Structure formats: C-alpha cells, structure tokens
Copies of this chain bind each other. A is one copy, B any other.
C-alpha cells in the first residue's frame, strides 16, 4: 500500500466513523473528538485529513453524490418506456440495502441541521437532490421531448418531492413517541419495513400517482 493509498484509507475510516456516529446520534451531537475516539486516533490527527469538520461532510457527500450520478446513468442507459422508467425508479428507491439506508439517514440528519451547515456543504446537499430531479427530467424529456423545459422541470421536482416524501413516511420516520418527527436510528428496522407487503402496495400507489401526473393533460 503506497503512502497515498494509506492516506485515502485513513480518510475513509474517519468518514465511516462519522457516518456511524451521525446515524446513532444525529449530526447535531457529534464532535470531532467523538469521531476520532471512535477509531482510536488523536483528535489532532483529524486535521491531517480534513481541513475542518465541515470538510468531512464534504467528503461524505462527495461519495454520496457519485452514487447518485451512477444511479442516474444506470437508469437512463436502459431504454425504458415511461412506465418502465417510473416503475424502475420508484422500485429502486424503495428497494433499500444497508448502504442506501445509511446514506438516506445521513442526508436526513443533515437536512435537520441545514442552517448550521456552511455554504459548500449546503450546495453539495442540494446537488444530490438535484441529481434525482435531473434523472426525472430526462425520463420526462425522453417521453415528451425537450420543449417546455420549465414545465418539465416543475414536473420533475414535483415527482421527486412526492417520491421523497413517500420514502420518508414509509421507511424512515421513527414511530417512537419521544422521537416525533425524527428519523429512526434502527437501520435494520428500515430494512424490514422495505420488505413488507405494505411497501409493495405503496410502490404501486406511488407509481400510479406519478404516472397519472405525468400522463395527465398539461
């Protein structure tokens, strides 16, 4: 392993430590010291790898953003009909694995601390959402053409919003009384929720809603 590789490795391990802690306690509560203690390095070492605490978020979101880009390309590379594209998109968002769940919960935690974040981080966070919207935009343009850019974008945003809100409601919200409005910390629970009959129906429901909206008269 070269020096450079080791550096990347360490960076990765710091990011993972932070992810774990955000999932457990929310971004609001974690400190640089928590992150370093968690992997038995010194507090000061953090700054060898990241310029600041917010820079860490950047690293984290960079990774997440790349995944979002990949997903976008993957969907668009297939020559789906509109129906197929919608169904596939909805399914792939509801079809969670450990990594997707963690990613989503981190984004949700950051969103619940949005005002605290610095510009750069906020931009990254918005980019990730935009990536999903762009995907919808292309799906829409594939079907209806690239005219009416603005109206198409509006539809794209609307659709993403509907899907995102359905995801939060059905998979991520905590049901504990003392965590009203918060997201669950139980990754396994999310996973289980993702594999129920209820979710299969929900997927169809959202699919129909979206299709209905996109195919409705304009």
A112: interface (CB < 8 Å): yes
A205: interface (CB < 8 Å): yes
> Contacts A115-B26, A115-B112; is A122 near B181 (CB within 8 Å)?
yes
A213: interface (CB < 8 Å): yes
- The total of chain A residues at the interface (CB under 8 A) is 34
A169: interface (CB < 8 Å): yes
Chain A contact residues: over half helix, strand or loop, or mixed?
helix
A65: interface (CB < 8 Å): no
Q: Which of A110-138 contact B (CB under 8 A)?
A: 111-116, 119, 122-123, 125-126
When the two chains form their complex, are residues A181 and B116 in contact, meaning their CB atoms are under 8 A apart? no
User: How far apart sit A158 and B212, CA to CA, in the bound complex (Å)?
Assistant: 14
A24: interface (CB < 8 Å): no
CB contacts (< 8 Å) of A209 on chain B: these are 158, 213, 216
**A residues adjacent to B (C-beta < 8 A):** 26-29, 109, 111-116, 119, 122-123, 125-126, 154, 157-158, 161-162, 165-166, 169, 178, 180-182, 205, 208-209, 212-213, 216
